[in-house]
Amino acid sequence: MSLQLPKYELYELGSQIRRSADSVNTNIVEGYGRRRYKADFLKFLIYSHSSNDETLNHLEKIFHLYPGIMEDHLYLKKEYNNLGGKINSFIKYVETSWKS
């Protein structure tokens, strides 16, 4: 979808949404690599949640600026909201039950 943006947005908004979406997963993986250190693990999970929120924001922006390319807007928004809830639940689990 980001590659369907006008050419002048490919390296601006298009790049931002691709990087924020990729960052959700990347931060979880990097944090898991530091799982021995609970505070570091939590820090990266919070970064992941923030990247998820950033991706939602970019989706909204694209929808309002270029509605013609956002046919799956509601589906994507629902999926990213669901993912954000799961990340938040995992953060709470790590805060309360993770043994470092």
Provide the residue range defining the domain that includes 73.
Answer: 2-97
The number of folded domains in the chain is 1
pLDDT value for 73: 81
Instruction: Look at residue 1 in the predicted model and tell me its pLDDT.
Output: 80
Q: Whole-angstrom Cα distance, residue 44 to residue 97?
A: 17
What is the pTM for the complete model shown?
A: 0.91
* Whether 83 contacts 52, CB under 8 Å: yes
In tens digits, the chain (100 residues) has pLDDT values of 888 889 889 889 999 999 999 999 999 999 999 999 999 999 999 999 999 999 999 999 999 999 888 777 889 999 999 999 999 999 999 999 998 6
Q: 88: closest CA among 52, 55, 49?
A: 49
Q: What CATH code is carried by the domain that includes residue 80?
A: 1.20.1440.60
| pLDDT at residue 95, rounded to an integer | 96
How far apart, in whole angstroms, are the C-alpha atoms of residue 56 and residue 20? 9
82: its two tokens:
């669901």
